[in-house]
Structure 1
Amino acid sequence: MGSKKPLRRHEALKPLSRQHHFGLLFSWKLRKGFAESISIDRLKAFADWFFIHETQPHFKIEEEYIFPILGTGHALIIRALKEHRRIERLFRDIENPKNSLSLLEEELEAHIRFEERLLFTEIQKAATKEELREIEKIHFGTGSKEDYPDPFWGKN
């Protein structure tokens, strides 16, 4: 069995990878909410909060500073941008929130795995030292991951 050593994430990209971790937790919390029959209104309120505080700022940083390293015509960037738009539509859907939140939980997790395993690996390989230094200068908000006032995923 061949064992591949994982590529170590460059320091400049680690804050985004940490934010990805919180996105995976978000998906887990939605799954837990569905499993425990939490009302769709509560799940939607949590998703709305997460979108405003975490997802929108994260997508903005990726699209303005990280994706240009590979260029807008690169197949991985085209895929990432398409997935960003799809995820945004799922967050914003008010017509069928139960269906959208169910799809969102799955699609956000798959998107994060794609970015971590494929996209960020390619970006890290392609980035110059200067580009990585510029990324390190970006102020990544620490976020308020644990400040959501209705932790339905814990003890109720």
Structure 2
Amino acid sequence: MAAKYPALEPLSAEHRQVLQLCENIRIGLRNNIPKKRIRTYTNWFKTNFLDPHFELEEQHIFPLLGNNVRVKKALANHRRIHKLLSCDCDNERVLNLLEEELATYIRFEERVLYKELAQNLHADDLEILKKYHANISFSEEAWKDKFWLS
């Protein structure tokens, strides 16, 4: 999508990071990494990446699309993902659900929601998005326990 809508590339790059999180969860589960280690990683990712990303979407991106069915679906997905991330457990079922929900949601945003966004954005909107997006800085390099590499 980024090649088709270059103004949305930073957001698409963030989505690739979320898809990498999903892959890391899958690898951890497949390799029988202790669930607590995976959950500690997802908690860190939530705080350092997903929370700011969701906040940007909810406060500055979704309003550009108005109150439509796709925005309502996105907000419902945010709530489900937050619920899974807030679960104070480390069991495999919750981690599987989290990974599936995130991957499905990111694909929905890229294929449907951001496509609509790109078609409805004005030049002023793009400048505003760039400004707010610049406030999100994230580096997975800060996370030391790379269990998915073992």
| 1:9 corresponding residue in structure 2 | 5
Residue of structure 2 aligned with 1:151, choices 143, 146, 149: 146
Q: C-alpha separation between the residues in 2 aligned to 1:124 and 1:149?
A: 36
Matched, 1:20 2:18: no
1:95 Cα deviation from its structure 2 partner: 4.4
Q: Is the 8 A contact 1:51 1:91 kept in 2?
A: yes
- How many residue pairs match? The answer is 149
Q: Tell me which amino acid in the other structure corresponds to 2:101.
A: E
Structure 2 unaligned spans of 5+: none
Q: C-alpha separation between the residues in 1 aligned to 2:24 and 2:112?
A: 25
Q: C-alpha separation between the residues in 2 aligned to 1:137 and 1:68?
A: 16
1:97 Cα deviation from its structure 2 partner: 3.6
Q: Is the 8 A contact 1:7 1:121 kept in 2?
A: no
- Percent identity between the two aligned chains: 34
Q: Tell me which amino acid in the other structure corresponds to 2:50.
A: T
1:16 Cα deviation from its structure 2 partner: 1.2
| 1:104 corresponding residue in structure 2 | 98
Structure 1 unaligned spans of 5+: none
Q: Tell me which amino acid in the other structure corresponds to 1:14.
A: E
Q: C-alpha separation between the residues in 2 aligned to 1:10 and 1:151?
A: 31
Q: Which runs of 4+ in 1 moved over 2 A?
A: 95-98
Q: Which has the larger radius of gyration?
A: 1
Deviation sequence 1:45-84 (CA, Å, 0-9, x none)? 011001001100000001111110111x201100000000
What's the C-alpha RMSD, in Å, of the aligned pairs?
1.7
Q: C-alpha separation between the residues in 2 aligned to 1:32 and 1:83?
A: 23
| 1:135 corresponding residue in structure 2 | 129
Matched, 1:56 2:35: no
Considering fraction of residues, name the structure with more helix: 2
Q: Tell me which amino acid in the other structure corresponds to 1:115.
A: E
97-106 or 33-42, larger mean C-alpha shift:
97-106
126-135 or 19-28, larger mean C-alpha shift:
126-135
TM-score of the aligned structures, taking structure 2 as reference length:
0.93
Residue of structure 1 aligned with 2:61, choices 37, 62, 66: 66
Residue of structure 2 aligned with 1:83, choices 77, 81, 85: 77
1:7 Cα deviation from its structure 2 partner: 6.8
